[in-house]
Structure 1
Amino acid sequence: MKAVAEGAKGYRRLIPSLTALVEFEAVARLGSFTLAADELGVTQAAVSRQVRFLEESLNVRLFHRLHRSIKLTGEGEALYLAVAESMQRIAGAFDRLSSGAEEQELVLATTAAFSHFRVLPQLPALKHRQPQLKLRLTTQMFTADLRHNEVDIAVRYGNGKWRDGTSSLLFDEEVFPVCSPAWLLANGSPKSLIDLMKTPLIESDSTSEGWMNWEEWF
């Protein structure tokens, strides 16, 4: 708490007047003391006093005061860029908070294959329905424990009986054999599961939890 208090005190010392910065930004953006006064709802003299106060506080000239116009000095340009960017960010935060559309992040953990083939194609539709939602994908295997990871939702294969959260069934798995056209032309299509069992099958011994193999399928 002490560090925060010291930082706040430092800002007040370095920035003499936020009102002066607001009025300076309006003058620099509009290129006119008169237009800035109209926008802010104050007198031109009041705007001039605030800008003069900034110049005296910084000991620099912020504007070249020409016959019928004004122009930022080099120092004024540097200050305007910093103030304008900061005010845009502050205004954007106020707008999001006041409209209740603050961006929310959802962390989804799944396998790389599921993310690529099932999640990514649906991102445009999700963005349309939930524009304020920011989805962050993380690739994890089925053994990841939600209690020890910064993950909101995980997509897993299994019976849904896990201790680290509640589960909802998305869809059942569909398993079917595939072959090349050349193999089918040479061997013909199996007529039954027994015929399929007798054909040479490529077996993959997965180290990942949950993957179904040919022995379980038959």
Structure 2
Amino acid sequence: MPVTPPRPKDLPLTALRAFEAAARLGSFALAAAELGVTAGAITAHVKTLEATLGATLFQRTPRGVRLTALGQTALPGFTEAFDALGQAAQSLRSAAAPRRVHIATLPAIAQLWLSPRLPALRAAAPDIEISITALEHPPNLKRTPYDLSLFYGADPQGMLSEDVIFPVCAPALARRLKHPADLATVPCLSDAVWSDDWAHWLGAAGETFVPRGPVFSLYALAVEETVNGAGVLVGHADLVAGHLKRGTLVAPFALGVTLPRHLRLWSERPLPAGSAARRTADWLRTLGTAALTP
């Protein structure tokens, strides 16, 4: 007579994923953001895992959570496993849709750098389907379904160009600006994310006044308002190049300041020669700078 004893229960995969993210990031809130759930869900999953194990993985403190010795021992293996799972899933997606390329990028880069280049890219490679997701921060390419990441960063790997900044404005407004000190008399537009742009440039120009003007949460909107004559904005060379070429914006001063970061295009996994992602990356690296729509 066959014996069929009950099979021991596996540890819940969702709970393991929550533990790994919280342990790697050092925060239940950051883990929740990465996994697209609430912090309460992460807490519940971790509690379920700890109850199943009969052991504690995190120490709760008023300042947050800290891994126990057991949690520290377990983390590397799960990080390696979930990295491998993420890369296997992305390889499967790429094999299932070999002509589709998904790019993650900053909203400003998507609108002002990448979008103007897409017509030329489609003309050069009509068989490739490009999808773009605008994100405020670079994603973890080992875990997320993106082929390429296009952001500013300090890592020189995948560098496309340096991030050079300088004031820009509409031509009519530029006629009022003879010296950097004249900026104190006009509205100086700012971006909420790159809030230190003015300090960098004015410091290099030897000016100490605090610029005044509207603040925008979207850099592309700040650029459009600058084109409309609302004031002067610190332009990032790569992002305002199209407007400078068309003459809708001008740079009233010759001084440019190079920031300690670059425009980067990279992938977390090797891109096979001839693949759609590799062709797209190569095109953007070699021809992107000259591919602006007139």
For the pair shown, the structure with the greater C-alpha radius of gyration is 1
* TM tier, smaller: 0.3 to 0.5
Structure with greater contact order relative to length (CA < 8 Å, sep ≥ 6): 2
The structure where strand makes up a greater share of residues is 2
Q: How does the TM-score come out when normalised to structure 2?
A: 0.30
The structure where helix makes up a greater share of residues is 1
Q: How does the TM-score come out when normalised to structure 1?
A: 0.39
